[in-house]
């Protein structure tokens, strides 16, 4: 299994010893000279240089904008400004994704490997993914604007953090699930080779989770576009904070009823999504295929002309050999000294471990825990004071609204699952269909439904109970992609040798679905359903309360109550509605999704 980076065991490693794994420099030096021959500069190098110059220019422009002495901006609907707005939005998305990926790897790893912290951390993750973006809005924006009162940096940071809240949770759930379902033979191999915690993370956990992480990253990116309008045009009571970008452009066009500007903004967004799919996501999918857990290499691996083009770059090759590889090796050695392999990890028997000595690290850990506990108690005290201000009639509306939103969520998940399961399996198991449909799916999933919805709303409101159909449709547009992308990742992760065995034994039709496809896809499907459920509750905020052309269209529901409370700056009602929504989502996760997670871990993990 070349995709999982376990080192070859030498005679020296076979002897009992502790410490970092020896350097692999001798292996690199033994590569034939033909492979080490330096390439000449070519067109690929020119493309890399142009891309680097463009990235630096975009960062400089964004930095200049962030330090401007303004907390509000007049959004122009002039089409000439669209390329600059697209660049600003792209920079915010990239920063939010970097933050999300860092959070995913750190939080997901700790939650999956620390048994004591796991229940608490997963419960916190359940709560975080269930809190709507508008509930984050007041506190985050006001705090950051207070820190940076004379520049737009606070608003920019608030937008990045709010986009982060729409990206991080499904990636974290995916990585956590992958680490929890590591095959037993790979875990035993890690023990035999005495991999340090860092080597296990870097060589085993990240490669094994790569397929699901890549496809959930694509979903997170699409989710970021979905909430871009809310992140770039922040409204708190009578105050409005606008940032130049595609999201604010689309929101302004929708508020003014300017269909021409709305279409131009959507066209620019679609063009940007297509370009990103061609130059980034499709090469990333093709590169990640080498991490597929299988014994037999697939003959129909994903391909990317851009990836093949970049592999011919002499500049990237030189950078990898002389800068990246030595830096990674130094980092590995440093982390091995910082987190050496533990003897109990090899023996697997923790019964011999004596009582832990009181160390400085333990004292610091308890001190930090105490500080966080104190902050939590203070927060609970002030929250209870605010909740006491909510009248009993409003509590009744909150409970009724929660029930109605729950019913809409169930209907949304049922409709989404009915079409995403067959299509996702088709895309994931067929490279031909993957090449055809992946760009289309990426584009459609990334189009903010909040920008497209006003156009659909005009026709839907003419139907009986049109606002109900409109709410379910918008919730579906915002959540079905969580299921589809996870199902695609699960179908792509089906080992080639199992597929070949099914062909040899002529396992087809429903029998193949029952014995091969559904068991392999099931763990990914559970992840998709969990994140889609949380996404549906989040999407209810914009689905049940829609503003278009100066008019407000709302239906009774928990999301509508949250949106109205945020718009009217009713912080007590906003807090009560948010807590009630989080309680519902956490309860559902515990009673339904967590049991399915345990079933996937126990019965349907590869091994």
- Overall pTM surpassing 0.75 (yes/no): no
Band (pLDDT 50/70/90 cuts) for residue 294 is low
Band (pLDDT 50/70/90 cuts) for residue 9 is very low
**What b/e sequence results for 16-48 when a residue is b if at least 16 CB atoms lie within 10 Å of its CB, and e otherwise?**
eeeebbeeeeeeeeeeeeeeeeeeeeeebbebb
pLDDT of residue 63 exceeding 70: no
Check the CA dihedral 411-415-418-421 and report its sign.
negative
Query: Which uninterrupted H or E stretch holds 525?
Result: helix 518-543
Question: In the chain, pLDDT over 90 holds for what percent of residues?
Answer: 9
pLDDT value for 422: 92
pLDDT value for 106: 92
Q: Which pairing describes strands 239-242 and 233-236: parallel, antiparallel, or unpaired? A: antiparallel
CB within 8 Å of 299: residues ≥ 6 apart: none
Band (pLDDT 50/70/90 cuts) for residue 46 is confident
Q: Which of 121, 116, 114 is nearest to 172 (CA)?
A: 121
**What b/e sequence results for 194-203 when a residue is b if at least 16 CB atoms lie within 10 Å of its CB, and e otherwise?**
bbbbbbbbbb
Q: Which of 242, 309, 305, 238 is nearest to 277 (CA)?
A: 305
Confirm if 369 and 236 have CB atoms less than 8 A apart: no
Q: Which of 93, 103, 91 is nearest to 226 (CA)?
A: 93
Mean pLDDT of 36-62: 71
Instruction: Tell me the residue length of the chain.
Output: 607
The pLDDT tens digits of the residues spanning 550-571 come to 677 778 888 888 888 877 778 8
The pLDDT tens digits of the residues spanning 504-531 come to 888 888 888 988 888 889 988 888 888 8
Integer Cα distance of 289 and 292 in angstroms: 6
Mean pLDDT of 47-55: 77
pLDDT of residue 2 exceeding 50: no
Torsion of CA 430, 435, 438, 444, to 10 degrees: -130
Integer Cα distance of 132 and 581 in angstroms: 9
CB within 8 Å of 480: residues ≥ 6 apart: 412, 415, 416, 419, 420, 532
pLDDT of residue 348 exceeding 60: no
Confirm if 133 and 230 have CB atoms less than 8 A apart: yes
Check the CA dihedral 80-439-523-350 and report its sign.
negative
pLDDT value for 30: 43
The pLDDT tens digits of the residues spanning 133-159 come to 666 666 677 777 777 776 778 888 888
pLDDT of residue 292 exceeding 60: yes
Phi–psi pair at 317, nearest 5 degrees: -65, -45
- With 0-12 CB in 10 A as exposed, 13-18 as middle and 19+ as buried, what is 359? exposed
pLDDT of residue 214 exceeding 80: yes
CB within 8 Å of 462: residues ≥ 6 apart: none
Torsion of CA 222, 226, 230, 233, to 10 degrees: 80
Check the CA dihedral 211-213-217-220 and report its sign.
positive
The pLDDT tens digits of the residues spanning 374-415 come to 887 887 888 888 888 889 899 999 999 999 999 999 999 999
Q: For the chain, give the mean pLDDT.
A: 78
Provide the angle, in degrees to the nearest 10, between the axes of the packed helices 118-130 and 571-588: 130
- With 0-12 CB in 10 A as exposed, 13-18 as middle and 19+ as buried, what is 113? middle
Question: In the chain, pLDDT over 70 holds for what percent of residues?
Answer: 79
Band (pLDDT 50/70/90 cuts) for residue 33 is very low
pLDDT value for 145: 75
pLDDT value for 451: 60
pLDDT of residue 325 exceeding 80: yes
pLDDT of residue 437 exceeding 70: yes
């Amino acid at each position: 299994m070349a995709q999982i980076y376990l080192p070859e065991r030498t005679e020296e490693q076979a002897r009992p010893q502790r410490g970092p794994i020896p350097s692999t420099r001798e292996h690199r030096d033994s590569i034939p000279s033909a492979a080490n021959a330096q390439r000449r500069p070519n067109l690929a190098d020119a493309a890399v240089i142009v891309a680097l110059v463009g990235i630096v220019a975009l960062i400089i422009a964004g930095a200049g904008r962030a330090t401007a002495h303004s907390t509000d901006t007049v959004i122009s609907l002039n089409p000439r400004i669209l390329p600059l707005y697209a660049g600003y939005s792209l920079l915010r998305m990239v920063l939010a994704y970097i933050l999300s990926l860092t959070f995913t790897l750190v939080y997901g790893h700790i939650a999956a490997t620390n048994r004591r912290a796991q229940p608490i951390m997963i419960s916190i993750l359940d709560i975080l993914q269930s809190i709507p973006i508008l509930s984050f809005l007041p506190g985050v924006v006001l705090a950051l604007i207070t820190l940076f009162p004379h520049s737009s940096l606070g608003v920019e940071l608030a937008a990045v953090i709010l986009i982060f809240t729409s990206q991080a949770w499904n990636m974290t759930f995916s990585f956590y699930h992958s680490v929890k379902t590591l095959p037993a033979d790979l875990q035993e191999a890690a023990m035999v080779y005495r991999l340090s915690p860092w080597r296990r993370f870097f060589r085993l956990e990240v490669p094994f989770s790569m397929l699901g992480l890549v496809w959930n990253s694509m979903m997170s990116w699409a989710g970021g576009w979905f909430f871009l309008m809310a992140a770039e045009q922040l409204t708190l009571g009578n105050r409005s904070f606008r940032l130049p970008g595609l999201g604010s452009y689309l929101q302004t066009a929708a508020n003014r009823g300017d269909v021409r500007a709305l279409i131009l903004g959507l066209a620019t967004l679609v063009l940007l999504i297509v370009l990103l799919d061609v130059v980034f996501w499709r090469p990333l999918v093709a590169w990640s295929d080498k991490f597929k857990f299988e014994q037999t290499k697939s003959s129909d691996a994903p391909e990317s002309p851009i990836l093949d083009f970049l592999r011919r770059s002499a500049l990237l090759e030189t950078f990898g050999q002389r800068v990246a590889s030595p830096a990674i090796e130094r980092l590995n050695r440093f982390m091995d000294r910082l987190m050496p392999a533990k003897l109990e990890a090899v023996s697997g028997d923790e019964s011999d471990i004596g009582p832990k000595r009181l160390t400085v690290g333990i004292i610091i850990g308890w001190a930090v825990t105490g500080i966080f506990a104190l902050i939590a108690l203070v927060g609970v005290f002030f929250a209870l004071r605010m909740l006491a201000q909510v009248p009993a009639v409003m509590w009744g509306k909150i409970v009724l609204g929660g029930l109605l939103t729950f019913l809409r969520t169930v209907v949304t998940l049922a409709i989404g699952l009915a079409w995403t399961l067959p299509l996702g399996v088709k895309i994931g198991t067929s490279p031909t269909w993957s090449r055809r449909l992946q760009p289309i799916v990426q584009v459609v999933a990334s189009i903010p439904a909040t920008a497209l919805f006003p156009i659909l709303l005009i026709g839907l409101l003419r139907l009986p109970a049109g606002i109900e159909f409109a709410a379910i449709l918008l919730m579906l547009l915002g959540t079905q992609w969580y299921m589809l992308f996870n199902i695609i990742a699960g179908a792509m992760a089906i080992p080639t040798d199992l597929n070949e065995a099914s062909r040899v034994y002529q396992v087809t039709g429903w029998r193949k679905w029952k014995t091969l496809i559904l068991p392999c896809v099931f763990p990914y499907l559970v992840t998709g359903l969990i994140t889609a459920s949380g996404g549906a509750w989040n999407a209810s905020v914009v689905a049940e309360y829609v503003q278009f052309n100066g008019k407000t269209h709302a239906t009774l529901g928990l999301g509508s109550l949250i949106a109205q409370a945020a718009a009217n700056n009713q912080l007590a009602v906003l807090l009560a509605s948010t807590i009630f929504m989080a309680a519902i989502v956490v309860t559902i996760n515990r009673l339904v999704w967590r049991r399915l997670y345990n079933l996937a871990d126990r019965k349907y993990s590869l091994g």
